[in-house]
A and B are shown apart, each in its own frame.
Chain A
């Protein structure tokens, strides 16, 4: 090595740093080799001595130690082992040795083998504790419950002290040993050999596949400080079902809890094609061979016949039935009571249905803990919610019972307990054999049978006493129970001769429950003498000679038996007269009496005896101050009131009768105590709409005085008939109607008035419908004065048919209507007047017009028919131009030099003649009526023309007045005036241009007229002559202008002629009302009058 080292070291000198690094590596390698060498030397040394001492224990008492033998030691070599444990113990052993467990701490162990000696230090911590492999003593199976039962011995006797043991058990299934479950089981070693049992229930029937079980253990000794390890697994044991060749399905008829999981398998040699649970297909789980299984999760409750599981093979099917249900519910409403203190009956409700029936149904057991007796419930099938009951025989001298009701079915059990003192829970049977016997007319004995041993307790019984048309009465009776079950009591305070219906029920004290009512027992009590005399009244006959005595039959309570007859007697101060016996049911007697004061006495008799007498005086005290009053009832009765009268010492009597009955009238009467001031009269005989008479009598010193007489209705109704009415008188504008009273029987109430309707209408067309609907064409008169029997209807039209209706009304409503058609007479005076007045007016107008025309004839002439100047004398052509163009102040015109080159006719709408910038003012225009007064020096030859007066639209009244018409004379010079305002009338200017303009083109105030003028222009209507310049030039400036509606040119000579006035008016549409109504109204008046 040194050589190698040197060889290696030589080159290292030849390099520097590099060399130095290589030197370091070599050192490491060298050290490694050295270490390996040393180890090899040591190992060689060890192999030459015993080594690797190991100790294990399986019972904590003996350690089993072993070591490796030295090399060269042959089999059977002997060792000397010495343990330094206080007692230097040496053993001569072979390779392995069992030594007692050493105390905690280090112990030196020397093993001598020949000359070599090995020393070890042994501590408990170095020892491993590996229990012996457990052995399964027995593995069995309960196939019905799919449970495996495992049995093994813990061999605890070999362990020195108590230790906890953990057993681990594994379950394997199928031939390929799939681990199904590994579970642990804890036990304790107690120093003795103990056989342990362990069970496990498989989720799969054990028949389905082979199951294997293995076990191992782990002993957890807290005092052992060494290594504790699991034991080895035991040998596996298996459970398999020895099947024959038949196919079978497992489990069979299993009862499981709803919602749980279950595995069903089919052990078969054939191939299973499908599996069904109910109607649902399930996936197959393949087991060994052809065996298959299905797993059902969360199964729902089965029908009563169970849930079918079917496996289908090629040509057959196999199945089983699973019953999924619930364990029994806790019995609810457990109640125990007794009917007779002999037997206890316990009832309960089963609670939630278990879905299990038949042999799987819940069985109940009732046990009493003090006596230790039990009874078991066996029953046929009952509806689910019906309560169950069990009978338990009572034990002598035991009152308190502690019951436990146990419910059990294949899925579990439940129980309910009840501690009861039966003497407080007595529900007696129904009393039977009820019998009634007389004691007297007001008392009976009642007996019944009530089974039960009630001798030691008290009974509380209730007797129901029913009387016809009366409220039933309950009487409570407490009695001591008897041994023979027969009970008897007396029932008093009954009414004689009355039918009673008795029934009984009983309970016990303290009260728990009533028994059911017994059957009813009807009984008639015996008779007694009538308790009072009959209610009597008397009436004098109509002739006043006989007194009729009335009495009312006694009520059942008063009669106390069957009334056989009545005895009537009358007595005075002098004598007593008794009439013969009057048999029931006659309830009146007639006695011939004078007007003396008698006392009438009436006595009722039955089989037992007579009643006390009822007395009434025959005398009636007159009352002169008697008025008839009215009253209306409340439907079923009528309230009568009166003032308190201290003089009335006995009682008041109100008698009533139907008012339509003849006297003596008596329907019924009612007696009221003397201190009363009102009473309500009710009777089944009262009918609505019937009038009754009520008479209030006061009793004074045994004599009755009529205090008030009242007519009334218990309820008013509407009349059933209409008043019968007739027409007394008819004129042109009025009708007088008369009607009659309605009979009382048909009035059915107090008459409150009449309603009279009338309207125009013919018999066949007028239907006065909806009288109350407020039709405006119907006139209504409400006649509230019921004494009024006539009505005059005025303001009618003559010779007109009227429909009249009359109806009466009460507070009960409107009666039916009666109608009639009446035609008024013709009005001749009015007709005459209607003819004469227009004629007279026409005559007067004519006369006045004639007078006016006559008086104004001059003016008319001047206005409308002036003298026409001779054109030859016209000097207009001699007007001088200078004169014409001279001062405007010039009031006279020299006609010669002035020749107008334009003539224009202006129109004006002003009522007042208006002249604007008139250079020539016509005196006629200013003073038309003074034309005759024109001064000669101012006389000029005037070319004038009458103004064209447009029809006044805005003021037609003025036109109609006629007198307001104005004649305007406008100088032809003024025709230039419109030219001064060209901008105001541009259209007219355009149309008319400068110079003479046809009247059609003059400004007209009315736009309508403009339009009409334009239209007329097209139609050549208007002032044609002026438009025709040639015509104008041919004649003269004043030549007659023509106008026409047919484009004919008619010359009338001078345009100033009054005749021409007609032609100066622009032609109007004849249909236009303006053309006919306005303008020249006066003229038109004459012209148009014939047309009018």
Chain B
């Protein structure tokens, strides 16, 4: 791994301190930030889908990609009163069947943003970080679109709206931090990436098409946010001291 000295140099830092330590500290800080945002992203996803559902079912690795008609039918064939009883104590901002056990909404494509590729882990770390940074740059406007739509649907869900707003800001910060790490590593930070504004416009258009697609799309954006933040955390973990890199 090539490292370029001075890229993370802090002008106020002691000049005697090795720039390498600065780099490690930067990586460590960014990794910690990514780890923290991963927890926040989990909470956001939980809040979005089901404010009082169990945390575990919202883990991205446990979410089925696509529709699980079998599981949904189990929920659906249950007596209506039983289903309502199961759902009633929960605060579901999107309403049933969101958040119900077995409900696995489709994962529509998001313009300008895709889930981490299966081969992501096999890429070189700088490349991975570049992908992470690119995704994190696209996510804030998407999260803003989701927040605006949720403000119409759930104007009194203050916590959800606040989390969405915070998540957009945090994704932006994490993206910048990853860019800084990439710069410190001497890797190119540019490269082809979708224009965030264009992606947001595309998803805004999709979100205005209908409320149900907007709900599904919002869920998808929250899920992607979690996936990319956790992916970033894992990628930075390989650079962090003590990591497998």
Binding site for B on A (CB under 8 A): 249, 252-253, 273-274, 276, 278-281, 302-310, 312-321, 357-359, 380-381
Contact = CB atoms under 8 A, between A and B. Distances in A.
A23 to B, nearest CB: 87
A279 B77 CA distance: 9
Contact of A321 (B97, B105, B210): B210
B83 A305 contact: no
B195 interface: no
A278 B85 CA distance: 13
A274 B76 CA distance: 8
B109 interface: no
Contacts of B86: 279
B66 interface: yes
Contacts of A308: 94-98, 212, 215
A358 B153 contact: yes
Nearest to B153: A305
A321 B69 CA distance: 20
Nearest to A319: B212
B168 interface: no
Interface in B88-123: 92-98, 100, 105-106
Interface string B44-81: 00000000000000000000001101001101110010
B163 to A, nearest CB: 16
A278 B72 CA distance: 12
Nearest to B212: A319
A146 to B, nearest CB: 16
A307 to B, nearest CB: 6
A318 B84 CA distance: 21
B153 A306 contact: yes
Contact of A357 (B76, B155, B209): B155
Interface in B150-168: 151-156
B211 interface: yes
A350 to B, nearest CB: 15
Contacts of A318: 212
Interface string B182-219: 00000000000000000000000000011110011000
A304 B158 CA distance: 13
The CB with the most chain B CB atoms within 10 A, among A249, A281, A308, A314, is that of A308
B97 A278 contact: yes
Contacts of B178: none
Contact of B67 (A279, A309, A315): A315
Contacts of A316: 66-67, 106
Nearest to B72: A312
B212 A279 contact: no
A274 B72 CA distance: 10
Contact of A252 (B87, B95, B210, B216): B210
Nearest to A308: B95
Given A317-B106, A319-B212, A279 B153 contact: no
21 contacts: A253-B212, A274-B69, A274-B72, A274-B76, A276-B96, A278-B84, A278-B96, A279-B75, A281-B77, A305-B93, A305-B94, A305-B95, A308-B95, A308-B96, A314-B69, A315-B67, A315-B69, A318-B212, A358-B151, A358-B152, A381-B156
Contacts of B153: 304-306, 357-358
A693 to B, nearest CB: 75
B156 A279 contact: no
Nearest to B87: A279
Nearest to A309: B212
Given A252-B212, A321-B210, 20 more contacts: A252-B210, A252-B211, A274-B72, A276-B72, A279-B83, A279-B86, A280-B80, A280-B83, A281-B76, A305-B154, A306-B153, A308-B215, A312-B67, A312-B69, A312-B72, A312-B73, A314-B69, A317-B106, A318-B212, A319-B212
Interface in B216-244: 216
A97 to B, nearest CB: 65
A357 B86 CA distance: 26
B27 to A, nearest CB: 41
B105 A317 contact: yes
Nearest to B66: A315
A411 to B, nearest CB: 17
A359 B96 contact: no
A278 B97 CA distance: 5
Contacts of B72: 274, 276, 312, 317
Interface residues of B, number: 35
Given A279-B83, A315-B66, A316-B106, A381 B212 contact: no
A320 B73 contact: no
B212 A274 contact: no
A321 B73 CA distance: 20
A310 B211 contact: no
Contacts of A317: 67, 72, 105-106
A303 to B, nearest CB: 5
Contacts of B211: 252-253, 305-306, 320-321
Nearest to A278: B96
Contacts of B69: 273-274, 312, 314-315
Contacts of A249: 212
Nearest to A281: B76
B154 A304 contact: yes
Contacts of B67: 312-317
Nearest to A275: B76
Nearest to A323: B211
Nearest to B83: A279
3 nearest A-B pairs in the assembled complex, by CB-CB distance: A358-B152, A381-B155, A279-B83
Contacts of A278: 84, 95-97
Contact of B215 (A274, A305, A380): A305
Nearest to B73: A274
A252 B151 CA distance: 19
A279 B100 contact: yes
Nearest to B105: A317
Contacts of A358: 151-153, 155
Contact of B80 (A273, A279, A313): A279
A383 to B, nearest CB: 8
B215 A279 contact: no
A51 B197 CA distance: 87
B73 A307 contact: no
A309 B95 CA distance: 10
B145 to A, nearest CB: 15
Contacts of A280: 76, 80, 83-84
A304 B80 contact: no
Contacts of A357: 152-156
Contacts of A253: 210-212
Contacts of B66: 315-316
Contacts of B92: 303
B95 A307 contact: yes
A760 B216 CA distance: 99
Interface in B131-183: 151-156
A321 B212 CA distance: 6
A279 B106 CA distance: 17
Contacts of A313: 67
A320 B84 CA distance: 20
A265 to B, nearest CB: 14
A306 B92 CA distance: 11
Nearest to B91: A303
Nearest to A306: B211
Contact of B73 (A273, A304, A359, A380): A273
Contacts of A310: 97, 212
A277 to B, nearest CB: 9
B215 to A, nearest CB: 7
Contacts of B73: 273-274, 312
A745 B140 CA distance: 88
Nearest to B98: A308
Contact of A276 (B76, B84, B106, B151): B76
A637 B32 CA distance: 78
A308 B93 CA distance: 12
A446 to B, nearest CB: 46
A1054 to B, nearest CB: 122
Contacts of B216: 319
